[in-house]
Amino acid sequence: MKKILLIAGLCIWSIFLYAQKDVTRFLGIPVDGSKPEMIQKLKNKGYVSSPHDKDILVGEFNGADVRLYVVTNNNKVYRIMVADVNTKSESDIKIRFNELCRQFQNNENYISLSDCTLSDKEDISYEMSVHAKRYQADYYQKPAVDSVAIAEEINPFLLSKYTEEQLSNPTEELQQGILKTSITYVLEKCSKKSVWFMINEFYGKYYIAMYYDNGYNKANGEEL
């Protein structure tokens, strides 16, 4: 249990230290700043403006032809949307969706809370048209931290919350409380670095749309 508490403490402190500068990244680029700046950075990666709209970029991503959309809130970028150019049949989109799930689950840079892969028996067209079912998979980018810095700072942080005696000999009730608080805090902070994708339908065909979100820049009702 002490090992679990230490790991939880490390996660909390790492996120606390880096929350303001550690945001979601797309192709290594922070999803942040102004729209013109982001578009230029994406062009530096090889994407080009669509002939129909200079703010929409086209190119290749993860082996597929895609369109990139830069979305802002209060003139700050909070989302990069990556949409497939080519639509697929129901069986092919199921394969693509499951392959993406496996890629994210096997990527050590992401946290996965559940297995979102679809079974061969899933009737996507029926469920989407009749029950308006949403096929979505959610993942979270792990915090980018310096383990040495974390190790140097973790003890003072834990001691600001608990006494040395509590940390050395936590009761069972205290252990559960620390663990629950740690997990809740970690998940809340990780949710600011979400990457998710879903299946969309277009005239009987299907495509994947992926979203790289910077939760720190999203609207939270400030202007209501």
Domain boundaries, the chain: 2-213
Tell me if 87 sits within 8 A of 107, measured CB to CB.
no
pLDDT of residue 184: 62
Closest by CA to 217, choosing from 14, 62, 3, 33, is 33
pLDDT band at 18 (very low <50, low <70, confident <90, very high): very low
pLDDT at 144 over 80: no
Residues near 198 by beta carbon (within 8 Å), at least 6 away in sequence = 134, 135, 136, 137, 208, 209
pTM: 0.79
Closest by CA to 137, choosing from 208, 198, 200, is 198
Phi first, then psi: give them for residue 81, nearest 5 degrees: -100, 130
